[in-house]
A and B are shown apart, each in its own frame.
Chain A
Amino acid sequence: MSEVSQMDVAILSRPALAGVKTGRLGASGAAGIRLEALPEGFLLHLLAKPGDGAAAGKAEALASRLGTVLRKTAPGQWYVAGGREMPAAEVRTIEAELLPAIAISDQSHGRVRIGASGPAVESMLAKLMAADLSLKAFPEGHGTTLFAGHVAAHAQRFSADRFEITILRGFAADLWGSLIEASLEFGVEATGPA
């Protein structure tokens, strides 16, 4: 029997959304929804003590330094995410800067982001999410954790007609299917991972 060492096994990076349904689907005419599998770059979960204003300021500073926004998930907790890959050394440097006010959980491999946009995006997401998605209750820059169907996810609003949904990697393909199904009546243009 031949010995299999770790060196013999090629570890391949496979996008969580590889092989999902893409293209122009559903109602004809101008697409009401655009879905896109966003690059699986970095995603850090920041955890601080709820109500710690200094920690919130540090988190805000980190997000702007990384050229992104803070996505609030819970009191004292945020995601920061971006499309580029972040080397482990950089994560450790950031962690060293933020401790002890903020702890970091690197979720880059654990959660993926899906962009949902278009004039019908509110109506489409409302089929899956039981939160008030109107611009008044859910303004630009607002983010929250909520159920998308039967799965816990995070939704962040970037503009009147654009959201990003963050979901655990293993549920991503399932959520993608639900999003497509909910979008069919509006017509959808879906772009899979690059």
Chain B
Amino acid sequence: MASLITCPHCGQRPKEEYTIKGDAGPKRPAPGAPEREWFDYVYQRDNPRGTLQEFWHHSGGCRRWLVVTRDTVTHEVFSVSDASERAAS
């Protein structure tokens, strides 16, 4: 687990200040999408070896949702950005 995350708003902080929601990959299906799609969205997760994008909440700091791109093997953190930027793009 990456232990130091640099929040774009607060600076470098320990992982204890954050709450991890998990994979930022799955896209929410349309409300009327078939049950199969919803099942996949809610329950199915890849467990990749290597680069992973995750939602992290800075619950002990600015309380913003962040997107952390990190390596699940080396624990290297490649980037941290505010989740609102991701939604806009």
Contact = CB atoms under 8 A, between A and B. Distances in A.
Contacts of A22: none
Contacts, number: 48
Residues of A in contact with B, size category:
10 to 19
Interface stretch (B6-14, B30-38, B43-51, B68-76): B6-14
A74 B82 CA distance: 12
Nearest to A138: B11
A131 B16 CA distance: 12
A147 B62 CA distance: 11
A74 B17 contact: no
A147 B9 contact: no
A137 interface: yes
Interface string B60-89: 111110000000000000000010100000
Contacts of A73: 62
A75 B62 contact: yes
Contacts of B11: 131-132, 137, 144
Given A74-B64, A75-B64, A146 B59 contact: no
B60 A131 contact: no
B61 A130 contact: no
A152 interface: yes
Nearest to A153: B60
Contacts of B59: 152
Contacts of B63: 74, 145
Contacts of B12: 131-132
B64 A146 contact: no
A147 B5 CA distance: 14
A71 B62 CA distance: 12
A74 B9 contact: yes
B83 to A, nearest CB: 12
B10 A145 contact: yes
A57 B68 CA distance: 31
Nearest to A148: B60
Nearest to B9: A75
Contacts of A75: 9, 62, 64, 82
Given A145-B61, A147-B61, 17 more contacts: A74-B62, A74-B63, A75-B82, A130-B16, A130-B17, A131-B10, A131-B12, A132-B12, A144-B11, A144-B61, A144-B62, A145-B60, A145-B63, A146-B60, A147-B17, A150-B16, A152-B59
19 contacts: A74-B9, A74-B62, A74-B63, A74-B64, A75-B9, A75-B82, A130-B14, A130-B16, A131-B10, A131-B11, A131-B12, A131-B13, A137-B11, A144-B10, A144-B11, A144-B61, A145-B10, A147-B13, A147-B14
Interface of B: 9-14, 16-17, 59-64, 82, 84
